Structure 1
Amino acid sequence: MAGILDSVNQRTQLVGQNRLELLLFKLNGRQRFGINVFKVKEVLQCPRLTALPQRNAMITGVANIRGQTISIIDLSKAMGGRPIAQTENSFAIISEYNRSVQGFLVNSVERIINVNWESILPPPRGAGRFNYMTAVTEIDGELVEILDVEKILDEISPVSTRVNADIVEQVAHLKSQTQKPILIADDSSVARRQIQKAMETLGLECIVAENGKLALNKLREMAAAGPIEQQLSMVISDVEMPEMDGYTLTAEIRNDSGLKDLHVILHTSLSGVFNKALVEKVGANNFIAKFNPDELASAVKSAL
């Protein structure tokens, strides 16, 4: 198991090619779940956990891993299922999301698969707003649920969307020059809400798309009706999205004569130097690691 991520650094070429690799795992039951390999730092047998008083009920305990104290979240319990009973026979997926490192307690870890974003689809209609899926795909004839980890983490430790008053005031002076809305493309309902709240604090209107393909369709529809720069001020896009990722969306925007001058901010919970390098490769104007409302507001202010 220790070697399951040994070649993770060799996989960076997948990013920007509308491809990803998923780490498959199970909780309590046969259902398979997936998480993007680029968000995973390591997978290990669950270490000895220390229970802390007054901890969140979803946190089984904390562990010291390579000199860092990391909270271990019972992923099954956090999603409304049965707690994972025997931690000594379980695994911890150590991941980095939105500038924080945490561990997810899972029952078993299977393997890594290589898939195209086009085969990653939005959750089925009727799944309801209280599910924890951000997307689904089919592997070996079975449905794999790709988890909306941002939603899970936000329920455990909500992120503030408040923007610094000085930035709000500075944007207010610029707003009279441009009342055009911002297009947000993100498959996570929590991420969309966070961005919208921050933008509403600045007094800016938002148009929302749930993935890159829907965003591109919307942009082309708008461009067909008239110059896009008269209708939109910018695009804020996630990188990981079903059907079309944010890098591909940005490249499509740059290759479309009616959209190529749009300001694009990539806003993602992915970490790593390779992301910043790809900002230039696909032609994005800026890259921000989720979610810091002041940083995002400052980037929007600069774009305006």
Structure 2
Amino acid sequence: MIEMPPPLVLSAPEPRTLDLIFTPQALTVLQTRYRIVEAGPESVAGLADNTLGEVRYIIGQPPLSAETLARMPQLRCILNVESNLINNMPYDILFSRGIHVVTTGQVFAEPVAELGLAMALNIARGIVDADIDFREGRELWGGEGNAQARLLSGADVGIIGFGDLGKALNRVLSGFRTNTRVFDPWMPPSILLDHGVTPSSLDDVLTRSDFIFVVASVTSENQHFLDADAFSKMRPGAAFILLSRANVVDFGALMAAVERGHIVAASDVFPDEPLPLDHPVRRLKGFLRSAHRAGALDSAFKKMGDMVLEDMDLMDRDLPPMRCKRAERETVSRMRSRPVTVN
């Protein structure tokens, strides 16, 4: 009986690395169960036919043409370890061939949600500004330091988008007994109700919220849809917290709304990253800034490797992937997020 060689995995996870997304123990399992061929994203098409012909799994989402896919008859799954589903391959061909496209992006949901909660609490209680004042000897004690303070508990909260991140955010907010409204045109109202939130229009979320969290993915339909008109509808003094991608927002209009004192804001994402040193948002009072670091915890990265191994094990046994989130044929080509460049 001829012993078959281990399945072949094409590793092209840039900007991630295998050491980043696998613990040493998990990496040993990967290297024991599979043969690994490493390639830069742009060099996949240049691999030999006999190599591409044996690839069962791709870790990463390198650009793939129809011609390159035709040379990969054994391919079963593309395991995206970036988090963004990128419009860089012919999804119609992948789906017609029954090739799965999955993402490990849900590992970021909990850490991003926790940072979003921290931002909301900071805005509500002025924690960072109070610390800076204390360091510089101009602190205000007791009630004098709470002139602008408010409670998150019992507040009217709006969430725009209710995927993995929206659900995680709703969980971390649950202890604060918030009155939470959600706008997500891709989500059936019954699912929102099952999560204890109120299905709402975008106008209702904007006009009836003390805190608004934006966790929507960028699609072909919603780029810059939160514009000057949207910010003008918000309650005076409301907090706008951007956690997903900057391209869902007209960033200039957001800064203008903060500058005139209509709202306050916080963001973990920006139109350009890294942000130019002379960008006006760096000096904008009433704007809390974080350098796209909300999800980038080592513990989150390492969960990616565990998810990849579990799903490849399932597929090795002719079962569908269940740990990662599968791309849907109806929506994947509508995603418009830019590839990440920094882990």
* TM-score normalised by length of structure 1: 0.38
Q: TM-score, normalised by structure 2?
A: 0.35
Choose between structure 1 and 2: higher strand proportion.
1
As a proportion of its length, which structure holds more helix? 2
Q: Which structure has the larger Rg?
A: 2
Q: Which structure has more RCO (C-alpha within 8 Å, separation ≥ 6)? A: 2
